Chain A
Amino acid sequence: GEEVAQTPKHLVRGEGQKAKLYCAPIKGHSYVFWYQQVLKNEFKFLISFQNENVFDETGMPKERFSAKCLPNSPCSLEIQATKLEDSAVYFCASSRTRPGLNTEAFFGQGTRLTVV
Chain B
Amino acid sequence: GESVGLHLPTLSVQEGDNSIINCAYSNSASDYFIWYKQESGKGPQFIIDIRSNMDKRQGQRVTVLLNKTVKHLSLQIAATQPGDSAVYFCAENSGGGADGLTFGKGTHLIIQP
Contact = CB atoms under 8 A, between A and B. Distances in A.
Pick from A45, A91, A93, A108 the residue with the most CB of B within 10 Å. Answer: A45
A8 interface: no
A100 B44 contact: no
Q: Sort chain A's interface into a size bin.
A: 20 to 34
B96 A100 contact: yes
Given A102-B32, A107-B44, A110-B43, A56 B87 contact: no
8 contacts: A40-B106, A42-B89, A56-B97, A56-B100, A99-B101, A100-B97, A107-B45, A109-B41
Contact of B44 (A48, A91, A98): A91
Given A40-B87, A56-B98, A108-B43, A102 B93 contact: yes
Given A109-B42, A109-B43, A99 B89 contact: no
A108 B38 CA distance: 11
B74 interface: no
Contacts of A40: 38, 87, 106
B112 to A, nearest CB: 21
Interface of B: 31-32, 34, 36, 38, 41-46, 49, 51, 87, 89, 91, 93-106
A58 B1 CA distance: 14
Nearest to A112: B41
B100 A104 contact: no
A33 interface: yes
Lowest 3 CB-CB distances: which A-B pairs, in order? A56-B98, A107-B43, A43-B103
A56 B104 CA distance: 20
